[in-house]
């Protein structure tokens, strides 16, 4: 499943970095912290590898 916004893609990248041990979990905040706890590494990879071009900066409410 691809990310729906640039913010979501960035948060997934931060959570993925912590999941892989490249950054500390304590450095995560907000969405990236909850993504770290609730998503697998594979799911985070799918979100993080989404291209930013054409994505809105933030997801709008539907």
pLDDT at 3: 86
pLDDT at 10: 93
The model's pLDDT over 17-58, given as tens digits with 9 standing for 90+, comes to: 999 999 999 999 999 999 999 999 999 999 999 888 888 888
Quick one: pLDDT band at residue 61, thresholds 50, 70, 90? low
The count of structural domains within the chain is 1
Note down the domain range covering 60: 1-62
Name the maximum alpha-carbon separation found in the chain.
35
Who wins on pLDDT, 3 or 37?
37
pTM over 0.85: no
CA torsion 40-7-31-51 (nearest 10°) is 0
């Amino acid at each position: 499943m691809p990310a729906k916004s640039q913010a979501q893609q960035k948060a997934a990248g931060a959570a993925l970095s912590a999941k892989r041990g490249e950054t500390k979990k304590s450095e995560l905040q907000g969405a990236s912290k909850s993504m770290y706890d609730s998503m697998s590494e594979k799911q985070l990879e799918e979100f993080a590898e989404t291209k930013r071009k054409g994505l809105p900066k933030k997801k709008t409410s539907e």
